[in-house]
Structures are given as C-alpha cells and as structure tokens.
Amino acid sequence: MVFEETELRLGLGLGLPGNEAELGLRKRGFSETQTETTTVDLMLNLSPKESAAADGPDPRDNTNTSPKEKTLLLPDPAKPPAKAQVVGWPPVRSFRKNMFAAQKSSEEESEKSSPNASFVKVSMDGAPYLRKVDLKMYKSYPELSDALGKMFSSFTIGNCESQGFKDFMNESKLMDLLNSSDYVPTYEDRDGDWMLVGDVPWEMFVESCKRLRIMKGKEAIGLAPRAVEKCKNRS
C-alpha cells in the first residue's frame, strides 16, 4: 500500500505566556520519518522491546526472525515507536492488568509523585492509538511540542496496516482538513479540568498535568465526523 506523502501540521500553541510571537495557534510541519519502523505502542505501558511483533515479519516465520536486542531498559519515549502489542500477549489475566491500571491511576491522584518519571497519556483526535510521554524528559514547552510532533507524525504516513489508518488516509477531505486545521493541545489537570497547554510555567504544568489531548479545531470535527468516528471505534 502506497500512501501519499502528506504533512501533518500541528498547531501546538505551546508558547510561554508573554511571548507574543508564540501565543495562540502555531502551525508546524513535520516531515516523514523514514528510518523508524512505524508501529505503535498501544494503551498499556508494556515495554515495547518485549512485545511480540504483530505486523512486519510474520511471527510464525521463525527462520527469518532477526535477533532481538538484549537491552532490558525502557526506551526513551522520544525514540522510534515500539512494536505493536498483540491481543492477549503476554498472557496475563485481564483482572491483574486492570488491577494495576487502577493502582496507577490512584497513585497519580495522590499527593506524592514519582521523583524520576511522570508518564502521562497523550491522545490525538483522529488517531486510533494513544501514546505515553514522560514529561520529566523535557525542560520546556517547545521540547515537548517537538517530541509530540515526532510521535504523531507516524500516524499520517508509513506502513501501519490497521484498517483505521486506511480510512483515515483515504478521506482526502480529512487530509485537506488536517493540513489546514489547527491542533489545540490541551491537558487534564489534577482537578479534572481541561486546560490549554502553555498557560502556566513549565514546572507547574508538569506537576499538575495528568493527561494530554491534542484536539482538532472545531471545524474539523464538524466536517468529517464519520472518519473520526471510525478511528475512534478502532481504538
């Protein structure tokens, strides 16, 4: 399947307060990422190097399986996206998985935060998969914006085989839309309110941000609801 090269323009208004040039919405272009195998890390925070490959080389084709890296460390979230997670692998009971999801969210709500990492979910409207970023990896809004852009650029181009993407891609109307629409980065703070990214100092943002959502401009939602719905249903 050959997809046309398209550019995703991400209008991340991540300017610091007071900086007029960066206030409001800003368009950015992101070029195709050529080197990474475009697979995505679904939902749960499984270390990507250990999950089985669902696309790319056929996992049953054992003779061609290339040597996996021996590294046991978690990858830098800014590095190439991980292999897709396979349903039901590793075989851990859903109860156990849900238990830890519950524990994690209750930890995020409690006063103490992990000193070393601050992982938050990032969703982008229209994308079937969420990502996670460690906010403590970045020192400023532009750095975060950069990383997010790289992360989500792979959603528009590449060899991901999910049906959701094909729909996403084939809606040329939607593509025009994406090129011209504004993306609004928002986040949910500890009180549960949805805020615009960029209003508060960076450190305060890192402490209070629970999750990120990159919203499409209002026009986008009105014009191509079906495609957006389909993508949402896939996730």
Instruction: Return residues touching another protein (CB under 8 A).
Output: 44-47, 49-53, 59-60, 62, 65, 67-68, 70, 72-74, 86-100, 102-104, 106, 117, 119
- Shortest Cβ distance from residue 94 to another protein (Å)? 6
Q: What are phi and psi of 26, to 5 degrees?
A: -130, 135
Quick one: 21 or 93, whose CB is closer to another protein? 93
- Shortest Cβ distance from residue 141 to another protein (Å)? 24
Instruction: Decide: 39 and 84 in contact? Cβ < 8 Å.
Output: yes
Quick one: 91 or 222, whose CB is closer to another protein? 91
Q: Which 8-state DSSP code applies to residue 232?
A: H
Quick one: 6 or 118, whose CB is closer to another protein? 118
Cα–Cα distance, 95 to 93 (Å, whole number): 5
Amino acid at 25: L
Cα–Cα distance, 230 to 170 (Å, whole number): 12
Quick one: 2 or 87, whose CB is closer to another protein? 87
- Shortest Cβ distance from residue 59 to another protein (Å)? 5
Three-class DSSP category at 34:
coil
- Shortest Cβ distance from residue 65 to another protein (Å)? 6
